[in-house]
Amino acid sequence: DGGITQSPKYLFRKEGQNVTLSCEQNLNHDAMYWYRQDPGQGLRLIYYSQIVNDFQKGDIAEGYSVSREKKESFPLTVTSAQKNPTAFYLCASLGVTDTQYFGPGTRLTVL
């Protein structure tokens, strides 16, 4: 059935490492989004992509990178330049009914 999958569910990173979070959707949606969630702060937009091979910085893009080579996939890389990466990361896609659909999230912890 259709939806958004994120993997892994839990991820541990050592200081100085780059890690990549996966986001896949089979909803045939053009636009996809990455958000970061910290306790008490709601969701903040990291990057978004409205079409394949194009993406835009969100409000907190520093220390992150993305690619959009396929419509179904929008991976997020958390680089060593991100000083405080421990957070819950949510991927979403935008349907034709003006609604964003969210994946189950990846919890990243820096050791």
Task: List the interface residues with another protein, window 8-67 (CB under 8 A).
Answer: 31, 35, 40-45, 48, 50, 58
**Piece of the chain touching another protein by CB under 8 A; list 17-25, 64-72, 76-84, 85-93:** 85-93
Using CB under 8 A as the binding rule, whether residue 88 contacts another protein is answered as: yes
- Write out the chain in H/E/C secondary structure: CCCEEEECCEEEECCCCCEEEEEEECCCCCEEEEEEECCCCCEEEEEEEEECCEEEECCCCCCEEECCCECCECCEEECCCCCCCCEEEEEEEECCCCCEEECCCEEEEEC
Least Å distance between CB 28 and another protein?
16
Other CB atoms within a 10 A radius of the CB of residue 44 amount to: 14
Cβ nearer to another protein, comparing 67 with 102: 102
**Piece of the chain touching another protein by CB under 8 A; list 13-21, 62-70, 77-85, 87-95:** 87-95
Name the residues that contact another protein, by CB under 8 A.
Answer: 4, 6, 31, 35, 40-45, 48, 50, 58, 88, 90, 92, 94, 98-105, 107
